[in-house]
Amino acid sequence: MGGCSQKFVSSFFRRETEVHSREVRLQVTMYEDCVKSTEDYYFLCDNEGPWSTVLESLAIIGIVVTIILLLAFLFLMRRVQDCSQWNVLPTQFLFLLGVLGLFSLTFAFITQFNQQTAPVRYFLFGVLFALCFSCLLAHASNLVKLVRGRVSFSWTTILCIAIGVSLLQIIIATEYVTLMMTRGMMFMHMTPCQLNVDFVVLLVYVLFLMALTFFVSKATFCGPCENWKQHGRLIFVTVLISIIIWVVWISMLLRGNPQFQRQPQWDDPVICIALVTNAWVFLLLYIIPELCILYRSSKQTCPLPGNACPAPAYQCSFRVENQELSRARDSDGAEEDVALTSYGTPIQLQTVDPVQECFIPLPKPSSQEDAEIQSP
């Protein structure tokens, strides 16, 4: 009986070991098949590189959230009654399309660098970010006028500013990609260091747009209209966080990875992490707060004119040269002088009696002049 039990136990453990080894071989075979079948897309099933799976999930969630926000903007465009707020909605809709492109571009960096993904990376990365920062710049430029109590730009003007400013990056990226492809796909013959340097140099204009938007958004803090300043603060914080993200990933790409001897293994993860992070910053710090402000304003049945901009103190001083005198009749039928300020507020000055005579006082001579006049 004892010998039979020992044989049974040994055979059981032998079968379990064989099953486990077959499962391990099957997993290895499946992973090898995944790598061989996908080739350039091996990051999508790489168990040793979880960064790709995390970024994939964040990008997909970002795409879904962005589409929902696009539909929300389309719904609110019909309900916003304030023209100054409505004029910026087409530009913000274009901004959301750019953010949607950034989330979609993530998959070009998760896949391996090859002849298909190289032109997409070098062209769309700078163009999409230039489009987003151009929309922020156009919105900030419009806010500079609104916080000072001036009239807003028309929606076509704001949209043309955003598109026109981003055109230069489109031209730069098109020329670079065309030049590289006409020379026989030089992307594949360049070292990782040369690829990274070219990638960063291609984004110089985007860095200029970021700096310009940062300083223009600071100018929105100066003005009497407090309600418009909250939009400027959103742009300021969004651009500030974006600048920090860009400084970190560019420093890591050009200096950090070579020093840690992780080039080119860390190049794609660094750019991809920066891409997804910056896109989420655009949504969380700019678009969603703007959408909340629009929703609150759309619930108002009678929007305040000019977003309740108070009159500056220096404009409230009544200057005589800027006043227009008009005639008005009071309840008794007497004529009155009324001063109209620049805001159209009538202010009563003095009741005029047409029978009353006007006496002009003469200058009183001094004692010496009086003595000279009396002396012969």
* Integer Cα distance of 76 and 88 in angstroms: 12
What pLDDT score was predicted for residue 15? 53
Sketch the domain layout of the chain as residue ranges.
16-46, 49-298
Name the range with the highest mean pLDDT among 17-31, 44-58, 246-260. 246-260
Most confident of 21-25, 75-79, 238-242, 334-338: 238-242
User: What pLDDT, on the 0 to 100 scale, is given for residue 144?
Assistant: 93
Residues sharing a CB contact under 8 Å with residue 88, sequence separation 6 or more, in sequence order: 139, 142, 152, 155, 158
Joined tokens for residue 376: 């012969």
**How many C-beta atoms lie closer than 10 Å to residue 143's C-beta?**
27
Q: What is the DSSP letter of 322?
A: G
Cis check: omega of the bond before 361, within 30 degrees of 0: no
- What pLDDT is recorded for position 39? 52
Q: What is the pLDDT of residue 223?
A: 83
Cα 301–chain centre separation: 29
Residue bearing the bigger pLDDT, 13 or 375? 375
Written out in words, the top-level CATH class of the domain with range 49-298 is: mainly alpha
Question: How high is the pLDDT of residue 129?
Answer: 97
Share of the chain above pLDDT 90, in %: 44
Whole-angstrom distance, CA of residue 145 vs CA of residue 343: 18
Record the tokens describing residue 22, joined without a space.
């077959």
Q: What is the pLDDT of residue 79?
A: 84
pLDDT at 83 over 70: yes
For the residues 350-369, what does the mean pLDDT come to?
Answer: 50
- When the pLDDT of each residue in the chain is averaged and rounded to a whole number, the result is 76
Burial of 217 (0-12, 13-18, 19+ CB in 10 A): buried
CA dist 157 and 200 (Å) reads 31
Q: 144: which 2 tokens?
A: 């500079």
Paired tokens of 193: 């260091």
Query: What mean pLDDT do residues 340-353 have?
Result: 42
pLDDT of residue 91: 95
Whether the pLDDT of residue 98 is over 90: the answer is yes
Q: What is the pLDDT of residues 175-233, one digit of tens each?
A: 999 988 887 667 777 888 888 999 999 999 999 999 999 999 999 998 888 889 999 99
Instruction: Provide the pLDDT for residue 336.
Output: 44
> Reduced to 3 states, what is the DSSP secondary structure of residue 335?
strand
List Cβ neighbours of 334 (8 Å cut-off, separation of 6 or more): 351, 352, 353
Q: How far apart are CA 154 and CA 173, in angstroms?
A: 30
Query: How far, in Å, CA of 91 to CA of 133, rounded?
Result: 11
Distances in whole angstroms, Cα of residue 135 to Cα of each of 38, 91, 161, 209: 38, 6, 8, 10
pLDDT tens-digit series, residues 110-122? 888 888 888 899 9
3-state secondary structure of 367: helix
pLDDT (0 to 100) of residue 359: 45
pLDDT, one tens digit per residue, over 254-273 is 998 888 888 878 888 899 99
* pLDDT of res. 184: 65
In this prediction, residue 331 has a pLDDT band, given cuts at 50, 70 and 90, of very low
